Chain A
Amino acid sequence: MIAVRNLFKTFWQPHRVDALVDVSLSIAAGEVVVVIGPSGSGKSTLLRCLNRLETADAGHVFIDGVDVLDPKTDINRVRAEVGMVFQSFNLFPHKKVLDNITLAQRVVRRRSKAEALRKAEALLAKVGMPEKAASYPDQLSGGQQQRVAIARALAMDPKVMLFDEPTSALDPEMIGEVLEVMKALAREGMTMVCVTHEMGFAREVADRVVFMDGGAIVETGTPEHFFVNPEHGRTKLFLSQILK
């Protein structure tokens, strides 16, 4: 489903950071992969390279066999198949919740108004807030906003969902409701790549955990392997800091 081959990315502003150093990773359809690691380890950059929000300097990303980094690739078609959820929600503040979910369906998928509305209402019910259709994003709590953002991404019927620290900006009491939606999604067989600090979620839902540090993948394995007997020193250190 997703194949990452020898990916490199260096940022030069404001100073040199080697965000990705020779990263390779394969993700099968239906697999849930959780990427963890200390901040600045390149996990978000990796995620953003998958749909070319960041352009990698070297290497390849294939999604469903399509070379994402090839300039000839219609990136908009790729992105329509790859849903993304951001740390800061990034809902469109000038549009109501329902319009947030229908906009891309209408503009990108060219669905009829009725079809887009039907889809949006169904998804809003799925994320547990059908009564908020006519609200504006700033009238919602953080958890509600993030659930709308998930519904917005799902409305495109993506093959893959990317989550970029979806609960990091939330108050503690709202993290659960967002994770529940993500767990339900995983149970339905959605292919997911999640960058998160929620170790409980990783343990419960992930098929595979990837630990990154210094722009490289240090260790990868099943949650059992990962949390019970990690091999690498840096992994142990990180886990001991985060799980104490």
Chain B
Amino acid sequence: MRTPSAPPVSRRPRSDYIGAAGFFAVLFGLAAALYAATMQVDYVWRWNRIPQYFAYQQRTELRAEADGEIEAVAARGDRRLITVKSDAGVHLFDAPAEGVRVAPGESVYAGDLLAVEEHWRPGLLMQGLWLTIQVSLIATLFGVVIGLFAGIARVAKNPFFRWSALTYVELIRGSPLLVQIFIWYFVLGTLFNSILAKNGLNQIPPLWYGVAAMATFAGAYVAEIVRAGIQSIHRGQNEAARSLGMSYPQAMIHVILPQAIRRILPPLAGEFVSLIKDSSLLGIIAIRELTKATREIVTVSLQAFEMWFICALLYLILTFSLSLCVKYLERRMVV
């Protein structure tokens, strides 16, 4: 006789546990080996010095400009307005309440400390990270626009558009990004800026040449992704749209592209993950993005091991959150 029993519990095979244990063993083993190796060369890990490169407190001191007397310390919410009366006239100093170092009626001499103010400032690493995000975003934006038009041109009937797009794509994909950045900065940049200077106009900063290089580079890859996406839509869709009297652009906008976008999205996300990583090359034309900032910090602090790990981790956070965003979008777009 069978006795009623609890519902069957799904049991993991023993090999799963062994595999997982092996994975963590190797992971910790590698970390330990690395640590042991750094001990061999007497590397001193100083993780406690790292946070200051994310954000640090800047201290500003307010000092009397001439001999005189504190006439008043007036409260204004959290802040205090210090009035100093001297032969040179009346001077006002604005300071946070907790930073005030004087009281009304005190005499002060020129150079005496009146108050201190401490501000949080973003460290070099944060500035670099922010610049990397900015450059990637702007380049992505332009890259998508360029790529969309170039991709549509790739499947156009008119040879002018088709050949132009093909030439652009092959030119860009056939040469290294590093070389393209150099060409944008040292060739085109020199030309533009010289012409601008001749006409008495302001120079374009290197940042924009970097963005242009990244955008045109990404655009070529996006163009191929868009072309593949459009061509993956069944011919019958275009025929149905055209048979209803829609023009080619109307069929593109209302029928082909909305379907193509769904197929384009995943490879597009991969392209932008690459773009974020490739932006690390911009350091060579004096754009202080994340990698360049890390290099500068390493030069000053000599904490090379910690800094490069942190740098890699920050890139990882950027790219991973981008993939998450796209996964979410993809789920939303599924009919």
Contact = CB atoms under 8 A, between A and B. Distances in A.
Interface of A: 51, 53, 76-77, 79-84, 86, 88, 90-94, 103-104, 107-108, 136, 138, 149, 152-153, 156
Chain B interface residue number, banded = 10 to 19
B237 A92 contact: yes
B259 A90 contact: no
A108 B244 contact: yes
B50 interface: no
B240 A76 contact: no
B173 interface: no
Contacts of B77: none
Nearest to A105: B244
Interface string B106-143: 00000000000000000000000000000000000000
A94 B247 CA distance: 19
Contact of A104 (B234, B237, B244): B244
A76 B236 contact: no
A51 B245 CA distance: 10
B258 interface: yes
Contacts of A53: 239, 242-243
B236 A107 contact: no
Contacts of B297: none
B16 to A, nearest CB: 37
23 contacts: A53-B239, A77-B245, A84-B240, A84-B243, A86-B236, A88-B234, A90-B237, A91-B240, A92-B241, A92-B259, A93-B335, A94-B258, A94-B262, A103-B244, A103-B255, A104-B241, A104-B244, A104-B245, A104-B246, A107-B246, A107-B254, A108-B246, A152-B244
Interface secondary structure of A, over-half rule? mixed
B250 A108 contact: yes
Interface in B253-281: 254-255, 258-259, 262
Nearest to B335: A136
Pick the 9 closest A-B CB pairs, nearest first. Answer: A80-B245, A90-B240, A104-B244, A90-B236, A84-B243, A108-B245, A79-B245, A76-B245, A94-B258
A93 B240 CA distance: 12
B335 A94 contact: yes
Given A86-B239, A88-B236, A90-B239, A156 B244 contact: yes
A156 B254 CA distance: 17
A80 to B, nearest CB: 3
B240 A79 contact: no
A138 B239 CA distance: 19
A120 B143 CA distance: 40
Interface of B: 234, 236-237, 239-247, 250, 254-255, 258-259, 262, 335
A136 B241 CA distance: 17
A149 to B, nearest CB: 8
Nearest to A78: B245
Nearest to B244: A104
Given A90-B239, A108-B246, 20 more contacts: A51-B243, A53-B242, A76-B247, A79-B243, A79-B245, A80-B245, A86-B240, A88-B234, A90-B236, A90-B237, A90-B240, A92-B240, A94-B259, A104-B241, A104-B244, A104-B246, A108-B244, A149-B240, A152-B244, A153-B244
Contacts of B234: 88, 90
Nearest to B242: A79
A62 B236 CA distance: 24
A107 B242 CA distance: 12
A93 B259 CA distance: 8
Which of B245, B250, B259, B335 gathers the greatest number of chain A CB atoms within 10 Å? Answer: B245
